[in-house]
Amino acid sequence: MYISQIYVNLDFQGRTEFSGKDRRPNSQGRISGNYKYGPFTKSTMQPDLYLRNFLLLFAFLLRLRLSASIWIQETILIDQPEFGFEAEEKISKNEQELVLDGGFVVPNSNFFGHSFRDYDAESARQSSVENFYRINHINQSYDFVKRMREEYEKLNKVEMSIWECCELLNDVVDESDPDLDEPQIEHLLQTAEAIRKDYPNEDWLHLTGLIHDLGKVLLHPNFGELPQWAVVGDTYPVGCAFDESILHHKYFQENLDFNNTAYNTKHGVYSEGCGLNNVMMSWGHDDYMYLVAKENHTTLPSAALFIIRYHSFYALHKSGAYRHLMNEEDVENLKWLQIFNKYDLYSKSKVRIDVEKVKPYYLSLIEKYFPAKLRW
């Protein structure tokens, strides 16, 4: 309820005008809102109908006796919601949600109902996720990565289109991810569509969302069926010290490079500001998809390739580690990666995407930025 002041103005021509001031506080706590009602003014708010009729009758009786203007002030109480039900519901809802730069609403929990990237929360997959990182950290050495790059940069496994590769991921589940238990094609489209909603004019970013995880086909039998620890999970540089911000850092103690003086210093085999393009990252789907896109002469901008290659490099874009290895181009591209990462992480939910409905749009982007068939 709020208070409104109603005025009745009688003029010499016998015309009656209602005017008033809305005494309801606005969202900033201020009193505002004037209105008028009468035969020669447009109404923006009407008082109660019975009150109006009473005032009209009262004014008519006064007109019989008065020849000058008379002002009557009446204070009334009006029972009326301040914002309306839908507005209040949205306000209440938004107070509990994070909204990204372009307007995409971040859900409060992942597929399993836990906070995103919560590796301590109890769930059916937590123990398997930690065991995954134990094996990953023990085996991802400088020499191992070098061998894998030499093998897979040949791109001699198969020829297929981008969309064929998307469909190939239908049976792939990332065991390192505590937020997702759906086929990868679902996550690809969730990410792409969330970006498309908030950045409608950046079609290259939409496509990057779709293809960023296609390197996970390394888990498929056609690509050697590599173990999960050699395909998915957070990535990090090899050939220099393992930063303590890396998830489950303790397991690096069993890595051959941990006590190797050539690889366990801050810079290791690299130099200050050498550029991430000259740094070897732990082997996985990020680096593989980067090689596929680059060697098949994609026309995507450098920021897209940077996103594809480093989107799992959480030690950098979440913790700020390894910045001493970056050059100026890396610094600029990192801005796009940090935007992208929000969608890569927070779009993992139970929201289902109508694949057939969005497929024509993404096929047009694939045709724009990639050849019809790619070497994998």
Sequential DSSP letters for 240-307: SPPPTTSTTGGGGGGSTTTT-TTTSSSSTTS-TT--GGGSPBPPSHHHHHHHHHHHTT----HHHHHH
The three-class DSSP label of residue 25 is strand
Q: Find, among 204, 165, 210, 166, the residue nearest to 192 by Cα.
A: 210
Give dist(CA 205, CA 211) in Å, integer: 10
Q: How far apart are CA 189 and CA 193, in angstroms?
A: 6
| Residues placed in the known binding site for substrate | 117, 174-176, 216, 233-234, 311-312
Which segments are annotated as binding site for Fe cation? 187, 212-213, 285, 311, 344
According to DSSP H, which parts of the chain are helical? 49-63, 85-94, 126-139, 142-152, 162-168, 184-198, 203-211, 285-295, 302-310, 314-317, 328-346, 355-369
Residue with tokens 């390894």: 322
Cβ(101)–Cβ(199) under 8 Å?
A: no
Exposed, middle or buried: residue 97 (CB in 10 Å: 0-12, 13-18, 19+)? Answer: exposed
Whether the Cβ atoms of residue 108 and residue 96 lie closer than 8 Å to each other:
yes
Among candidate residues 203, 208, 216, 171, the one with its CA nearest the CA of residue 191: 208
Task: Give CA 121 to chain center in angstroms.
Answer: 22
Q: Which residues contact 370 (CB under 8 A, 6 or more apart)?
A: 162, 293, 296, 298, 299
* Binding positions: 117, 174-176, 187, 212-213, 216, 233-234, 285, 311-312, 344
